[in-house]
Amino acid sequence: MRRTDDSGDRAGLRLDGRAAVVTGSGRGIGRAIAHGLAAHGAAVVVADLDEAAGATVADEITGRDGRAIATRVDVRNAESVAAMVDTTVAKWGSVDILVNNAGVATTQVVEDTSEADWRRVLDVNLTGVFLCCQAVLPHMSAQGSGKIVNVASVAAKRISFNAGASYSASKAGLLAFTRHLAYEVAGRGINVNAICPGPTLTPMMAEVADEETLRVRARSVPRGRLAEPDDQLNAVLFLVSDLADMVCGVALDVDGGALLGWTDTASYFERRRGPAAKEVPEEERDG
């Protein structure tokens, strides 16, 4: 049986002595995950393409007596990813946790999607995860332990309300990759799992969606509200903790029941071809 502390509460959520890499953690859900892992004792590498944003988050964490450094990473580039992992090991001595959160999307319908946009979304959302996992596996295998969490989307199991087919395809592929990798490395003491966020309220979502849009989205969620970044963090905390040692290859929906139903379809083409069509921040791309 898993040990408990003196109060009877499970102690397995503590991450003291572990080093965590969180990609795309300069804002939104990634930022919440970086903060949460640090608050539970992990030393965190805030990895983001936006170096300034990552540095701000790292400063926020250290300002709260946590341990964090920032590094720039382009997850599409194997050399950049390798440098991120080398930085982690040089600073903290190991890499125990990897959260693959970096992602992009576009809003176009299929016939309006350029090959370049298609490839960019797949390169970041799927190939980028492959490269990051491949880079940490030698370290995790050598120490006989590790936790990897891939941030997918409910779009992987349905379609995306906000983003295009490239996004849904990349996230569906990510779930297949998660299952396959989990099978390959479970015997080495490495757990690989995914979370599937539903509509999540972030500062950027509030900037691009008016109050009525947010109300409509909330009404489509059986739980009665949009998720918060900390809802996604809580799922990640469980999956990277000792409490999840026997959890391998799952895709945990964190959506307030959104997958149990669907919203109206009238706005589908309007959102992709109308005047509001735009590149959607990762945190608004719920599925």
Is 183 in the active site? no
Taking the C-alpha atoms of residue 44 and residue 68, their distance in angstroms, rounded to an integer, is: 5
Which DSSP category does 41 fall into?
A: T
CA 258 to mean position of chain CA atoms: 18
> Helices marked H in the chain — which ranges?
28-39, 51-63, 78-92, 115-122, 128-143, 165-185, 203-208, 211-219, 229-240, 268-273
Determine which one of 92, 118, 161, 167 is catalytic: 167
- Any idea how long the chain is? 287
For residue 2, CA distances in Å to 11, 41, 249, 283 come to 8, 19, 21, 34
Q: Return the structure tokens found at 143.
A: 């120490």
Give the β-pairing of 251-254 and 97-100.
Answer: unpaired
| Catalytic residue ranges | 167
